Chains A and B, each alone.
Chain A
Amino acid sequence: MKSLTLLLLLVFSLSIPNSLSFQSDELLIEDEEFVKSPDLSRPSISPLTRKTVSDSGSDSKVQFVLEHAFGDSEFTPAGTFSARLKTWSHGGQTLTKLRFSRKDLSREDKESFKTLLEGDDFYRIRVPSNVISPPGRDYIISSVKARCLPQTGLDEHFVIHMDGVNILGVNYGSLAVCQYPRQYKLPSKWAFTSHTVLKSTEQAPRTPAFSEDIGSTEIGGEDEGVKPLERSFWAKYWMYLIPLGLIVMNAVTQAMNMPEEQAGGQPASQPQQVNGPLPRGPGSRR
């Protein structure tokens, strides 16, 4: 029995960092510390048992309710999120170790869900925007086309974006591809498989700051004046240079065919060759 608990503990301690992999490293280290304290992880192994654990030091347990609505019906409680509220020494508060337990769907719920599936309507959920003093300023609503949920069971994924104790938004839906037109399909099992992920904000990468290289950029910037001139010369006058080249080549082949003493035809092409580089240069040369 004891070994079983230990095993469970181990499994749990391994699973926690995974589920929180979206958080920054800083938080993760703290989380692992909590996992080591044995009495915290145990009650939450089974998702259906809910228990408020006594506060230990600076963290406490919070719970908030998930409500759902079928189409345009009223919102009714659908489950409870429970999490650990960690108060930091500098006054900030963060949620960790979020767990979710869903109520079983009642008969009416199943009926309403079926009508949703038939009508390809929205299944809507909402959570409070503040977990300490629900509902906060307003509810966070999220909805999904009901036909997106049924897989083998009812598959749902919550990605909750948090800022301290505030919930900003919930990405709700299933993993499956779900494009229009959606197929009407009843779930084989009327139970939700829920997955939850907590997300907090990312830090923006810092602007690179290096002083020496600025100098080299500027040098590069100064020298640039020469190159484009050369390029634009070719780019601008290729249509004259190519025929000129052809003429020259033509003349040369002519000359090759001719015996040495009879060079009478050549002088005509020579002056043109001299004229070649003369055409108007780019504006700056004038």
Chain B
Amino acid sequence: MDEGYANLPTSHLLGSVPAVTPEERKPAGPAEAATSRLQQFPPAPGATGGGYQPPGSPLDGDVETQTNWKGYFNVASYAPYFNVDTDVVVDRLISSVYPMDGFFRKIDANPDMYGPLWITTTLIFMLAAFGNFATYLMQRKTDLNIWNFDVGYFNWAATVMYGYAIVVPAAFFFLFQYFGSRPSLVRFWCMWGYSLFIFIPASILLLIPVEFLRWVIIAGAGGASSWFIALNLKECTEGADMMVLIASASVLQFALALFIKVFFFA
């Protein structure tokens, strides 16, 4: 079953366009195939027949070398990471808010990149927009009329959020590998991405112009997020001697929460 996708009969007809395989035919199928396929990132092109398939190369023989680097530029090779439906995504979002909900078990078979991508993008917009709005409300309280929309918030938000969501899981992936455990980069990205979801409702609540309340809210959100990271890291690496790494991951998450409060919602 795992080799099913590579051995689709149409894969051997190089130069022809394989038939589009409908998504709803295999509700449980992607789970099994995905387990093996999604260990390495990125997968080779032509891995699945889902949806979009560019025409194969007419040249035979060097398919092997082709798959090594052309997989990076091929849209179809990333399609397995977006193989989720609306209800699946909503379910994962909700379970990311309650740290004890067994999130890692849910994404283990089918980690998706849709969540992290759009959660970070939404968060960027929210931070920039509500950060500006919150600064405006605070300045109105002190009766100053010099508030200007600071478009730099968009740039800062984009840099910080995309940088955090991409670099931190990758760094921890390498650290975990160095210390002997066997993590999976895609699952790390997926998990860290979903851990940022709680900051979206938090940033809405941070509009309240009461300073003490803001600190309480951000501490709550940061704490929940760090706890989520710690629990899921522990579950996926199953190692008791990784405590230092897990602790540092939680601390980093809390530091992000503080940064959000200090920079955007001053």
Decide whether A and B are members of one complex.
no
